[in-house]
Every structure is written in structure tokens, then in C-alpha cells.
Chains A and B, each alone.
Chain A
Amino acid sequence: MKINFHHSQAAHCENGVTSNLLRFHGINLSEPMIFGIGSGYFFSHMPFYKLNGMAVTSFRVWPGLIFSRVTRRLNITVRRRKFSNPGKAMQELDRMLDKGIPVGMLVGVFHLPYFPKEYRFHFNAHNITVFGREGDHYQVSDPVMENMEKLTSEELKAVRYAKGTHPPQGRMYYITSLPGQIDIKPAIIRGIHKTASDMLTIPLPMFGVKGIRYLAKRMRKWPEKYGNKFAALNLSQVVRMLEEIGTGGAGFRFIYAAFLQESAEVLGKPWLNEASKDMTEIGDAWREFAYQSGRHFKNRNNGDISYDSLADRLMIIADMEEKVFEQLRSLRP
């Protein structure tokens, strides 16, 4: 069974799967649109939540939220399933493919054969679409890949049942019905308001604009707390999260700028173009932070860059993000 499915590369896997699934069902939305409507933009720095023994820093919302928000805000009905039995999970996938329905699913990247080795770590919230089966091979649209890929049923089963933190447990999802008419304007406004409130109003230090300042504060203490070597590793992990495959550059800040630019036209609000420019500057400031950080952790004796100077940069970025979202918060229909 082969479904006529169009694979289109995206910066980020969840945006890409959502966008590709919607396109299959006749709704053409760009990746930035998906990301903006799904309120994907975020910041968090969570010392209580570790990856490789280091605090997790994230520039986006929790995996799965973008898909669920986009479909909810566009009144699209979806079905989501998980299976304790791998055999059943594969059977149900085959049944959907036989019906001609492409299926999105969560997989672990560690065993994905087509990924470069250096990128394979135990991350279990990668999204792909399976849209066909030929003999023992499944046709896979992985949004971060330039072309379509193939996996054998054994390989697919292995990645769907990856183990470790947040195992995917064969989770899959697909679109079941669409509303008669899609109106993206209210969805854009909902999306922007949610992101503004996520960034500005969560009363905890780890999240939103406060989270950036929190990271800055903690970063100043890294060298004495962790020693030079582990401090450098922590800094490099922030850079990886910022620029790792799938952020579109600068921790999704450029994707969001693209979204604001597109929204300016859709909503007929030229001032959003200004907000988009501000957002581009924020992205550039993050890139500069990454560049300086890179110089610092590569050559630890660099005189002019210190954890303090990097933290100062973060404080400025936090102010810039706060200013943009204060404006966006006042967006009215």
C-alpha cells in the first residue's frame, strides 16, 4: 500500500509532521505558521530535570504540544494511541495504511539507522510520518531528512519501542476529521497570546523570560561550582540545545520571526513586521551568544570571554524578549 504523500523537509520534526499531515488532508500551512499557531516558542532551564547529568535547557514547549494545539485551534479531530504490545502497534499501523491514512508517530533517535552517528543519543520524542509499506519496508517521511527514507519492520518496531526516559511506547496519531472551513486568523491570535503568557507570566523562575535570567544567574556560578571542565560541558550543552538540528537557527527564534512576518500579512497588521524584525535581532543575539560560548568552551583560556560576560549577554536577550512579548500580548483581532 502506497499513499500519495508529499514529503517536505522542515527545520523541526514536530512542525514538519504536523505540516505534512495537514497538507495531505488539503490544508497548506508553512512550518512557521504551524510553530506559531501551536505556540511552540518557549524557554526553560530546569536544574531538576537532567540530560547527561546536566540541567536541561529548552527553547521550545514540551514535545507533542505543537501538534495538539494546532489541531485543537483549527478544530481538527485527531486520534492518538499507544500500545503496550509492539505486535499490536504494528498491526494497527498497517490497518491505517491500508485505509490510506498517513500516520504520525513518536520514535527514539538512538536506533534510527539513517541518522548520523554523532546525532544519535537517547532522545525519545522524535516525530516521523509513516505513509506506506512495500513488502517488509515502511516508507518514512522524517521531516529533518532531505528525502524520504525506508525502515524495515524490525527497525521501525525498535525505534517505536525505544527505552529510557519517556519511552514512546508505540505512540501514534492521525487526523480523523476536518471542519468544513479553516479559519487561521483566530488561531494565530490564540497562538501568539499563549506564547506571550508562557514567556511573561509563569510564576516560577525556570520558565519564560525569567528562565533566561535564571540561567544567567546560575551560569555565573558554574566555574566555581562545577570546575572548568564540567562548566564548559554545561555551556556546550546549552549551545547544542540552541543550535541542534531542528531549531531553524537560534533556538526557534528565526522560525518565530518568519511566523510573525507571515502573520502581519494574514492579519493585515503591519506592526507585526516590526515585531518580526525585533525577533530577528533576538535570534542574532542568541547566535552571537552561541558563537562566543563556542570560543569559550573550545579554548578555556580565552581572556575576553567569561561566564560573567556570557551571562550579561543573556540578561540583555531576556530584556529584548520581554519587550517583544509585552507588545505581542496586546495583539487584538
Chain B
Amino acid sequence: MKINEVPQDGAFLVEGKIRDLCYVVDDKGHYTKVLSKGWTPKNDAIRLAWNMIYENAEEIRRQVLSGILSPIALFMELNVMDVSILASYTGLPRRKVRKHLKMKGFRKLSPEHIRKYADALNLTVDELTDIERIRRIEIKHEN
């Protein structure tokens, strides 16, 4: 890549804080460093990954509201976690976590376990258990 070809397609990176350092060739053929605000193919790849998460989350929310899946399943998705990551943050066995992803298992949770899940998912206990709030929260991408 030449020095005048460095893309500056801003989307997620913040100038003056975090930008991509690119190694590029200058006019004389020497390698040098230039900061880039981003590049469209990469931004699109990141966006695609997040949109997939938001799509899944919308589907999970529907199932939470109809009483099939639990709020834990929704926030696990929004925290980009899977069962094994959530299990390791809560210290619970994966088998149990799988149970608690269902509304049926969720209803039987003790306050102590609810707290564990709330901590692992960066939420307060109220945020985790308030179904009305879940109906209202906005799941979408800003960019």
C-alpha cells in the first residue's frame, strides 16, 4: 500500500484516541507509518457481525416476551457471550446456564443466582428481571 492510498473511512475509530496504524510505502519506496480512521471493507465486516447479533437478539426478545426464553438469553447475546463464557463469569456449570436460558429455569432462580447473572452481564438485578423494560429497550446499531 502506498502512502496516498491509506483509506480514511471513519466509522468506529476515534481520531486522537484510537486509529489504525498502517505501514505504507512513501514516494521513495521507504516504509513509513500512517494513521487510518478505518477502511470500508473492514467497517462493513464489523457492522455485519453486529447486525447479526442484533437480529438474533430481536428474535430472542420475541421469545422472551412470549415466555419461552429468559432475559439471560437476551443479554448473553447482547454481551457477545456464549454459554461457556457466561458459565465462566458466573462460576456455574454450563448445564445449569443452559437451563437458565429458558424462562422455566429462570423463574426458579434464587436471588443470589440472579445477582450473579446480573453482575456477569453488567446489569443491575432490576434491569435483568424487568420484562417491561426488555419490551422497550432499543436493539440497534448507531452507525
Contact = CB atoms under 8 A, between A and B. Distances in A.
B142 to A, nearest CB: 9
A242 B16 CA distance: 24
Nearest to A297: B48
Contacts of B137: none
Given A239-B42, A284-B1, A167 B88 contact: yes
A248 B22 contact: yes
B44 A32 contact: no
A236 B85 contact: no
Contact of B49 (A165, A240, A257): A240
Interface stretch (A38-46, A114-122, A189-197): A114-122
B46 interface: yes
Interface residues of A, number: 54
A249 B22 contact: yes
- Please report whether the interface of chain B is mostly helix, strand, loop or mixed according to DSSP: mixed
Interface string B1-36: 100000000001110111111111100011101010
Given A121-B80, A146-B19, A163 B89 contact: yes
Given A11-B22, A146-B17, A248-B23, A165 B52 contact: no
Nearest to A242: B42
A58 interface: no
A145 B21 contact: no
A165 B80 CA distance: 13
Nearest to B88: A163
A243 B23 contact: no
Contacts of A203: none
Given A236-B45, A287-B1, A290-B41, A10 B21 contact: yes
Contacts of A147: 16-17
Contacts, number: 123
B44 A118 contact: no
Interface in A153-196: 163-165, 167
Given A10-B21, A144-B18, A249-B24, A52 B41 contact: no
Given A9-B21, A146-B19, A122 B80 contact: yes
Contacts of A255: 23
B41 A233 contact: no
Given A145-B18, A283-B1, A236 B44 contact: yes
Nearest to A232: B48
28 contacts: A11-B22, A52-B49, A53-B82, A116-B14, A118-B46, A118-B50, A121-B80, A122-B85, A146-B16, A146-B17, A146-B19, A163-B89, A164-B85, A233-B48, A233-B49, A233-B52, A236-B49, A239-B42, A240-B45, A240-B49, A248-B23, A249-B22, A249-B23, A258-B23, A280-B1, A280-B25, A287-B1, A294-B44
Pick the 6 closest A-B CB pairs, nearest first.
A294-B41, A258-B31, A163-B88, A236-B45, A254-B23, A164-B85
Interface of B: 1, 12-14, 16-25, 29-31, 33, 35, 39-42, 44-46, 48-50, 52, 80-82, 84-85, 88-89, 143
